[in-house]
Structure 1
């Protein structure tokens, strides 16, 4: 592993999410057609909400490395700003960008730029993170309903989404009216990203 990637692993290698408990939903089953209709309405409504964010914890792993840290995400339309901080050292990196490209700051060697945020992050850190799709998936939405397979759980809320070669599992708050999930786990082959959301924001607060 290069010194650069070793530094990234060190920044992430603190804290575990395994002990984080998430309340389970015990709600009546909802017919599939009704659950799909509710989901389509959610997707239409949330598509209009272009400024939002969240704070939480993330654990990332692949075939060789694993680590965790604090994550803050701010979304404004197609533009995003993501900050990850190791809980002990308080060091970390920031990825920002949009359709025109992305910039990665905070790691040795100075800022790095690229036309594709996912490719930039993968090349610089070795982590496989679906940056383009996470703004949808983290809120329990599909990027394209025609190319996704969505399963619903009790209460008619998404329980598993398969899209773009990734499988995303959801846990929801105990409040049956909650519109946003509390825990998201995305995996593809050896790559895995686990998110525990501590707080959703309206996007006005910078990471």
Structure 2
């Protein structure tokens, strides 16, 4: 399927996704950031959560995604599987029954997009490959960290973070993106709490994600 038809197919499910909860929520008043001892306690809890997640290099999630750039956008289902630094991301449009698969590795500059007319496409950068073929701008290489509520381990300036009154990470800013964590799934057993509703913005690009199910492989 061509990139043009891909976009038309995914835009067709915008209304369905809005009914399922991908639509923009009313803007809430800005909340103050935690400071002092309260912030230090929240940061300590965040480090404990990150250490717990580091023990699960194999994990997956399924959910709903909506992507927009200015006045244009699309939405559908997403299933993400991570194995160390390698990933497979499956996108599907229920209305047209079309599906696509992005395969890559966050530590290697190469990716493969399957399900397009004319056969698979390969590119040096997964984010650029996906945008060229579909019109979607998604921070692919950052997804494995950001989707779990973790900043990427980069040298240089540290990410800007904010914590809510409940002590959970509320937002982080890194690499030109601001990622907001609007809802969390509580911890259960050995699984730490994980994001459920995420909004990431960079310029005119917005990615909204609602995660229906997490699966952390036992180690």
Q: TM-score range by the shorter chain?
A: 0.7 to 0.9
Structure 1 residue aligned with 2:30: none
TM-score (norm 2): 0.81
Q: Bigger shift: 147-156 or 167-176?
A: 167-176
TM-score (norm 1): 0.86
Q: How far apart in 1 are the matches of 2:96 and 2:130?
A: 21
Q: For the structure 1 residues 9 and 72, does the alpha-carbon distance in structure 2 shift closer, same or farther, using more than 3 Å as the test?
A: same
Structure 1 residue aligned with 2:91: 84
List 4+ stretches of structure 1 deviating above 3 A. Answer: 173-178
Correspondence for 1:110 among 115, 119, 138:
119
Q: How far apart in 2 are the matches of 1:176 and 1:52?
A: 15
| Alpha-carbon offset, residue 88 of structure 1 | 1.2
Q: Which has the higher contact order (CA 8 A, sep 6+)?
A: 1
Structure 2 residues without counterparts, runs of 5 or longer = 26-33
SS of residue matched to 2:162: strand
- Count of aligned positions: 196
Structure 1 residues without counterparts, runs of 5 or longer = 23-28
Q: How far apart in 2 are the matches of 1:203 and 1:105?
A: 26
Q: Does structure 2 retain, via aligned residues, the 8 Å contact 1:11–1:92?
A: no
Q: Does structure 2 retain, via aligned residues, the 8 Å contact 1:75–1:203?
A: no
What whole-Å deviation, never above 9, does each CA across 1:157-190 have from its counterpart, x for those lacking one? 1111111110111122474776101111101011
| Alpha-carbon offset, residue 155 of structure 1 | 1.9
Structure 2 residue aligned with 1:147: 158
2:211 equivalent to 1:197: yes
Q: For the structure 1 residues 203 and 64, does the alpha-carbon distance in structure 2 shift closer, same or farther, using more than 3 Å as the test?
A: farther
Structure 2 residue aligned with 1:26: none
2:139 equivalent to 1:130: yes
| Alpha-carbon offset, residue 19 of structure 1 | 5.5
Correspondence for 1:36 among 26, 39, 43:
43
- Cα root mean square deviation, aligned: 2.4
